[in-house]
Amino acid sequence: MKATLVVLCLALSPALSVAQETSVLALEIGRLARSPDGDDDLIVELRDNLWKVVYLSAGQAEVAEILTFRRADVQAGAGSGASGTTSAVLNPLLPAIFGVAFEDGAITRSVSGSTISLKVAPAGLICASRPLAAAAVARRDEEACKTLWRRVGVTASFDTKRGEKSPKLEDLQTLNNQFASLTVRAEVLNLRTATGRRYIGTFQSQFTSWKEKAAAFVAIERDTPEVVKAQALVEERLLALVKQPDWKGKAVDKRADEIKAIIKGAAALVTVPDAQATRVRDAWLAALRADRALQNAVANAPVLTAEYAFERPDLATEPLGTVVPEGIRPPSLHSARAIYAQGLTRTSLDFTANVSLSWFSDVRPGMSGSFRDFKAGINGTFRLRDLSNYGAPALSFAALYMYLHQEPLGLGLVEFNDAEVNEPGHIGVFQAKLELPTANNAMRIPLSFTYSNRTELINETDVRGQIGISFNLDALFVDKK
Amino acid sequence: MKTVGLRTYSVSPAEFPLELEVTAVRLPANRAIVGHARVSKDGVLLERLVPTIVEDPTALAVRFKIPLPANPPASFDITQTVDCWFSDNCPPDARYHFVIKSKNGDESTTTVRVPTLNPGAANLAFRVG
A316 shares its domain with A385:
yes
Q: What is the per-residue pLDDT for A278?
A: 84
Q: What is the per-residue pLDDT for B22?
A: 97
A408 shares its domain with A437:
yes
A289 shares its domain with A310:
no
Q: Which of A258, A273, A295 is where one domain is finished?
A: A295
A160 shares its domain with A256:
no
**Residue A260 forms part of a structural domain:** yes
A260 shares its domain with A326:
no
Interface of A with B in 461-480 (CB under 8 A): 478-480
A467 shares its domain with A325:
yes
A122 shares its domain with A188:
yes
**Residue A81 forms part of a structural domain:** no
What number of C-beta contacts closer than 8 Å exist between A and B? Answer: 120
pTM of the predicted model, to two decimals?
Answer: 0.69
**Residue A92 forms part of a structural domain:** no
Spell A416-435 as b/e; 16+ CB within 10 A means b: bbbbebeebeebebebebeb
A252 lies in which domain range?
2-69+203-295
Q: What is the per-residue pLDDT for A242?
A: 95
Instruction: Give the type of residue at B33.
Output: I
Number of domains in chain B: 1
**Residue A286 forms part of a structural domain:** yes
- Indicate the residue of B5, B43, B93 with minimum beta-carbon distance to A225: B43
A281 shares its domain with A355:
no
**Residue A311 forms part of a structural domain:** yes
Contact A66 B28 (CB under 8 A): no
Instruction: For chain B, say whether A174 makes contact (Cβ under 8 Å).
Output: no
Q: Where are the beta strands (DSSP E) in A80-225?
A: 98-104, 114-120, 152-159, 179-190
Interface of A with B in 124-153 (CB under 8 A): 135-136, 139, 141-143
Q: What is the per-residue pLDDT for A14?
A: 35
- Indicate the residue of A48, A291, A298 with minimum beta-carbon distance to B85: A291
Q: What is the per-residue pLDDT for A354?
A: 85
A156 shares its domain with A14:
no
Q: Which of B22, B41, B117 is the best mutation test for A, with the most CBs of A within 10 A?
A: B117
Number of domains in chain A: 2
Q: Which of A256, A276, A295 is where one domain is finished?
A: A295
- Whole-angstrom distance, CA of residue A443 vs CA of residue A473: 8
B74 lies in which domain range?
2-128
**Contact (Cβ atoms closer than 8 angstroms) between residue B98 and residue B7:** no
Contact B123 A47 (CB under 8 A): yes
Nearest CA distance, B1 vs chain A (angstrom) = 19
A331 shares its domain with A460:
yes
ipTM here: 0.95
A178 shares its domain with A323:
yes
Q: Which of A273, A295, A317 is where one domain is finished?
A: A295
Nearest CA distance, B119 vs chain A (angstrom) = 9
Sequence-distant (≥ 6) Cβ neighbours of residue A49 within 8 angstroms: A25, A28, B115, B120, B121
- Contacts A195 to B, Cβ<8 Å: 28-29, 60
- Contacts B116 to A, Cβ<8 Å: 23-28
Please tell me whether residue A469 adopts helix, strand or coil conformation.
Answer: strand
Each of the 481 residues of chain A gets a pLDDT tens digit; together they read 333 333 333 333 333 333 346 888 889 999 999 999 989 999 999 999 999 888 876 545 555 443 332 233 333 344 444 444 444 455 544 433 333 333 332 222 222 345 565 666 555 555 555 555 555 545 445 555 555 556 777 777 777 666 555 555 455 444 456 777 888 888 888 888 888 888 999 999 999 999 999 999 999 989 888 999 999 999 999 999 999 999 999 999 999 999 999 999 999 889 888 888 889 888 998 999 999 889 888 888 888 889 898 988 887 888 888 888 888 888 999 999 898 888 876 667 778 888 989 999 999 988 889 999 888 888 888 877 766 666 678 888 888 888 888 887 877 665 544 556 667 888 887 878 888 876 655 566 777 777 777 654 334 445 555 555 555 554 444 444 3
- Whole-angstrom distance, CA of residue A374 vs CA of residue A354: 11
CATH number of the domain encompassing residue B117: 2.60.40
A430 shares its domain with A312:
yes
Instruction: Name the residue of chain A whose CA is nearest to B109's CA.
Output: A41
Q: Which of A49, A209, A242 is the best mutation test for B, with the most CBs of B within 10 A?
A: A49
CATH number of the domain encompassing residue A376: 2.40.160.40
**Contact (Cβ atoms closer than 8 angstroms) between residue A366 and residue A321:** yes
